[in-house]
């Protein structure tokens, strides 16, 4: 029996997400989930401003007698660029960190430079060895996995955290936010990009070049060594302010001569190809639906506006044609091989060893410790 297409009455999420559920009115389960998340973790109001003021004071105190108060990951995309613009207003001494995975667009490079010049910030750029990056990117294509951005994403955050710890910077700030990223179905997300064990498994099976310098951080090192023992703190400041995409773009253009990309995460040439063409073609997943639905629920756009947007094709045929040539040449494979990898059968994440058990164990241990601390506090009271 053929499945029936259904779309949420509140968002633009639909049954292309295989795990979506609807209530009797036709509203998807993400709506209630996001509203609870917004109520507990997003503060686009005076409460958020007051909370962020106190956090910034703490950051400055922790940064005393150190060269920097905090570290900010800067990709050149909208989220990280707007974060940088807003943090400059607080007078923080910031080290901006950028990780060049070989896929930067010319615009992203210029935007990073413009932001740092506007803020008068120091910039540290780590360039990943291209032979290693190329081999890992090819490994993910050959594995046929959902999240083809893992090689870039893992390296970016791993390097950010490594740099913070090596320079004794307590606070690492990122542009992650609930205003535009509150929805991302598990099936569309793929395996956790921060699972170093899974990355090694993919590369061991499909790669050929030794990853001698590729920056990687596993769950244990991140949670125990970096967070618990060394005291590194990770913060998403955009969750403490009203974050509206069009206003953010306008501010960046006016104040820093920043140039927009069009869609979310298109600062990376490969990410633009992956999200705009690879995912819809191979899996039938259009990530625009998740981004637009997140923006509907944060009050940035209407559902009608989102519906009009997804009526447009996710990619331009002529542009994708040239992108295929560019990506195949850069990866040093034939274009026909790239096209073959896109249409080959899908491989499940569960076929490869991973470290999720370690993540789950650490989360359970943390929850147990927090519960014991609360109980001990009650006893003392």
Contact 153, 193 (CB under 8 A): yes
Give the span between the Cα atoms of 312 and 351, in whole angstroms.
35
Within 8 A by CB and 6+ apart from 366, the residues are 223
Contact 249, 259 (CB under 8 A): no
For residue 364, what pLDDT is reported?
Answer: 85
- Of 154, 229, 228, 161, nearest to 195 (Cα)? 154
Give the span between the Cα atoms of 220 and 234, in whole angstroms.
16
For residue 262, what pLDDT is reported?
Answer: 72
95-109, 225-239, 362-376 — which is least confidently predicted?
Answer: 362-376
Give the span between the Cα atoms of 181 and 199, in whole angstroms.
24
The confidence band for 203, taking pLDDT boundaries of 50, 70 and 90, is: very high
Residue 276 pLDDT > 50:
yes
Residue 20 pLDDT > 50:
yes
Mean pLDDT confidence for 200-227? 96
For residue 373, what pLDDT is reported?
Answer: 55
Give the span between the Cα atoms of 216 and 343, in whole angstroms.
29
Which residue's entry shows tokens 């997003």? 42
For residue 195, what pLDDT is reported?
Answer: 95
pTM exceeds cut of 0.85: yes
The confidence band for 30, taking pLDDT boundaries of 50, 70 and 90, is: very high
> How much of the chain exceeds pLDDT 70, in percent?
94
For residue 4, what pLDDT is reported?
Answer: 87
For residue 171, which phi and psi values (nearest 5 degrees)? -115, 125
The confidence band for 365, taking pLDDT boundaries of 50, 70 and 90, is: confident
Contact 4, 15 (CB under 8 A): yes
Q: What is the pLDDT of residues 281-325, one digit of tens each?
A: 999 999 999 999 999 999 999 999 999 999 999 888 889 999 999
> How much of the chain exceeds pLDDT 90, in percent?
85
Give the span between the Cα atoms of 84 and 74, in whole angstroms.
8
Domains and CATH numbers, the chain: 29-361 (3.40.50)
Give the span between the Cα atoms of 211 and 202, in whole angstroms.
12
- Three-state DSSP class for 94? strand
Q: What is the pLDDT of residues 87-137, one digit of tens each?
A: 999 999 999 999 999 999 999 999 999 999 999 999 999 999 999 999 999
For residue 302, what pLDDT is reported?
Answer: 98
For β-strands 233-235 and 171-173, DSSP reports them as parallel
Contact 235, 161 (CB under 8 A): no
- Of 20, 17, 22, nearest to 285 (Cα)? 17
Contact 152, 103 (CB under 8 A): yes
Return the HEC string of 126-193. Answer: EECCHHHHHHHHHHHHHHCCCCCCHHHHHHHHHHHHHHHHHCCCCEEECCCCHHHHCCCCHHHHCCCC
Residue 1 pLDDT > 50:
no
- Three-state DSSP class for 205? helix
């Amino acid at each position: 029996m053929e499945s029936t297409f259904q779309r949420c009455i509140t968002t633009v999420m639909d049954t292309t997400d295989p795990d979506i559920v609807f209530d009797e009115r036709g509203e998807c389960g993400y709506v209630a989930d996001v509203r609870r998340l917004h109520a507990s973790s997003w503060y686009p109001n005076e409460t958020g401003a007051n909370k962020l003021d106190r956090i910034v004071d703490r950051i400055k105190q922790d940064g005393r007698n150190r060269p920097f108060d905090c570290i900010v990951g800067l990709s050149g995309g909208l989220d990280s660029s707007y974060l940088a613009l807003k943090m400059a207003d607080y007078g923080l001494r910031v080290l901006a960190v950028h990780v060049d995975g070989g896929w930067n667009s010319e615009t992203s490079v210029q935007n990073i430079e413009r932001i740092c010049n506007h803020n008068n910030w120091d910039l540290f750029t780590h360039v990943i060895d291209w032979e290693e990056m190329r081999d890992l990117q090819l490994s993910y294509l050959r594995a046929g996995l959902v999240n083809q951005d893992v090689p870039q994403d893992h390296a970016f955050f791993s390097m950010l955290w490594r740099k913070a710890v090596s320079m004794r910077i307590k606070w690492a700030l990122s542009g992650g936010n609930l205003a535009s990223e509150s929805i991302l179905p598990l099936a569309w997300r793929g395996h956790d990009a921060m699972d170093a064990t899974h990355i090694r498994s993919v590369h061991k099976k499909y790669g050929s070049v030794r990853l001698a310098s590729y920056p990687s951080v596993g769950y244990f090192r991140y949670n125990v060594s970096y967070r618990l023992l060394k005291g590194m703190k990770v913060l998403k400041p955009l969750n403490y302010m009203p974050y509206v995409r069009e206003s953010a773009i306008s501010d960046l253009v006016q104040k820093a001569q920043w140039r927009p990309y069009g869609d979310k995460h298109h600062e990376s040439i490969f990410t633009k190809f992956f999200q705009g063409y690879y995912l819809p073609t191979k899996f039938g997943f259009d990530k625009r639906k998740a981004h637009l639905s997140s923006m509907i629920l944060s009050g940035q756009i209407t559902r009608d506006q989102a519906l009009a947007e997804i009526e447009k094709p996710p990619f331009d045929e002529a542009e994708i044609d040239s992108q295929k040539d560019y990506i195949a040449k850069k990866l040093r494979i034939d274009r026909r091989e790239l096209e073959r990898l896109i249409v080959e059968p899908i491989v499940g994440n569960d076929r490869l060893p991973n470290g999720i058990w370690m993540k789950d164990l650490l989360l359970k241990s943390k929850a147990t410790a927090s519960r014991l601390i609360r109980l001990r506090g009650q006893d003392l009271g």
